[in-house]
Amino acid sequence: MKTVYSVELASTYITTLPFKSPSQNHIPVTKRWKINSQAKGFNRSNLEKKKVMINEEKMRKMKEDAEADDKIPDVVMNRMIVRILFNVGVPLVTGLGLLQVFSVIKEQNLWQIPRWLPFLTTFITFGASTIGIAYGTLSTSWDAENKGSLLGFREARKNWVQMWEEDESVNK
């Protein structure tokens, strides 16, 4: 932040005055005002001390949070990614495929498709695709040694309860 450090005030004067001597006519008056850019109680040293204290506190909190969070094993993370891609990809591709099928049927004049049918199928398939992100995460076995079942219903029930128990213990 740049501040004005000085302001020069030059007074206006008349070059010749009838009632003064000629030696006093040409005296320029210059004043310099210095603006104090630091208000009382906010000098640099106090601000710097406060910033250092705040930064140290933030670093301490970040370290505590990092220690509190458990690292997800790579095996479990890879399983989650595969399940999420499957649970998002299948409904998404199905929805796009149905839109293409409806387009071909309409172009070939095989059947006059009502407008609500593509809307409904898109709503259902794309909605299932968005829900697939959460289900892909919950249906994965969070145990690195246990692979889990194919559809993951048992793991989803177990992980759902475990997730809410952890959330309640954090909020208390």
Query: What is the number of structural domains in the chain?
Result: 2
Band of residue 110 on the pLDDT scale cut at 50, 70, 90: very high
Q: Are 81 and 158 contained in the same domain?
A: yes
Q: Are 55 and 23 contained in the same domain?
A: yes
In the predicted model, is pLDDT for residue 133 greater than 60? yes
In the predicted model, is pLDDT for residue 31 greater than 80? no
Q: Are 115 and 36 contained in the same domain?
A: no
Q: Are 60 and 79 contained in the same domain?
A: no
Q: Are 47 and 28 contained in the same domain?
A: yes
Q: Are 51 and 93 contained in the same domain?
A: no
Q: Are 84 and 161 contained in the same domain?
A: yes
Q: Is residue 104 part of a domain?
A: yes
Q: Are 80 and 54 contained in the same domain?
A: no
pLDDT digit string (tens) for 48-96? 667 777 888 888 887 777 666 667 889 999 999 999 999 999 999 999 9
Q: Which of these, 172, 145, 148, lies nearest to 159 by C-alpha position? A: 148
Q: Is residue 91 part of a domain?
A: yes
Mean pLDDT of 163-167: 84
Q: What is the pLDDT of residue 23?
A: 55
Rg (CA), the chain: 37
Question: What percent of the chain has a predicted confidence (pLDDT) above 70?
Answer: 67
3-state SS record for the chain: CCCCCEEEEECCCCCCCCCCCHHHCCCCCEEEEECCCCCCCCCHHHHHHHHHHHHHHHHHHHHHHHHHCCCCCHHHHHHHHHHHHHHHHHHHHHHHHHHHHHHHHHHCCCCCCCCHHHHHHHHHHHHHHHHHHHHHHHCCCCCCCCCCCCCCHHHHHHHHHHHHHHHHHHHC
Q: What is the pLDDT of residue 72?
A: 83
What domain range is 157 assigned to?
74-171
Q: Are 61 and 133 contained in the same domain?
A: no
In the predicted model, is pLDDT for residue 42 greater than 60? no
In the predicted model, is pLDDT for residue 21 greater than 60? no
Q: Of 12-21, 31-40, 128-137, where does mean pLDDT reach its minimum?
A: 12-21
Q: Is residue 1 part of a domain?
A: no
Q: Is residue 146 part of a domain?
A: yes
